[in-house]
Structure 1
């Protein structure tokens, strides 16, 4: 989907006024500004809605976790392979999470992606591969600090294989 530039948007508005009159154009603009358009959340004033804080935290944790994964993959040889072994040996892992990870391992193309993961190839990997790698390396991640703190103070990561700084 292509987004119109401001100039194009104004030109369309001018044509709308010329063809249908100012009243219709202004009513259409008002409906859009109030959020009365296809895709607006029903019942939300002006189409706005409050973000689900848990979803925002989960997304921020995923982004921070991926950045830390890349940092570790760059300097720790065989980290991914050791983490895969640790995940398989983890007796405390949630049953549903384990089933999901093992089911994903049946996908040969996904596992080929996972096994070439490095900071250099990360941007070429699918979202599914990122999630699988995350599941192998990260046992748990969660917010421990306030929203406005930097990620390293806001989130705590429990790694399957502790980092050299934790030994």
Structure 2
């Protein structure tokens, strides 16, 4: 299973870095997220079984392994990998910037509670926009800053449907 996960991470990292000049990740503290909730003899933990299941799910996904694979693949493709602070990325409106935990109606629905906004989107899409913005705009989507045609872009014939001259 470990080999299969490693192959998946390497393959996915290769595809992501080959197609993008910039990869933005949340700087998640996985070790802190998966800390035990058992507590001590004097102050035993609560919901230990649920926390154990969450820890197992977090560690089973191999987030750190994918992060390492992305960094490794990026060295060969020239892709920049940027880590951003994850604070409030899922609670901030990507349109107006209003932050409150009430913006998340559910795990999947984001609805801005600001009086003059009312933006609605899938919660993960809204968070992804915030994460992308947190990385800044130093590199264009093509990775070439508009000076020439990027290597990471489809050939002109694919984009226009014509054969090259």
**Bin for the TM-score computed over the shorter chain:** under 0.3
The alignment's TM-score, normalised by the length of structure 1, stands at 0.23
Q: Between Structure 1 and Structure 2, which shows a larger proportion of helix residues?
A: 1
The alignment's TM-score, normalised by the length of structure 2, stands at 0.23
Greater RCO (CA < 8 Å, at least 6 residues apart): 2
Larger Rg: 1
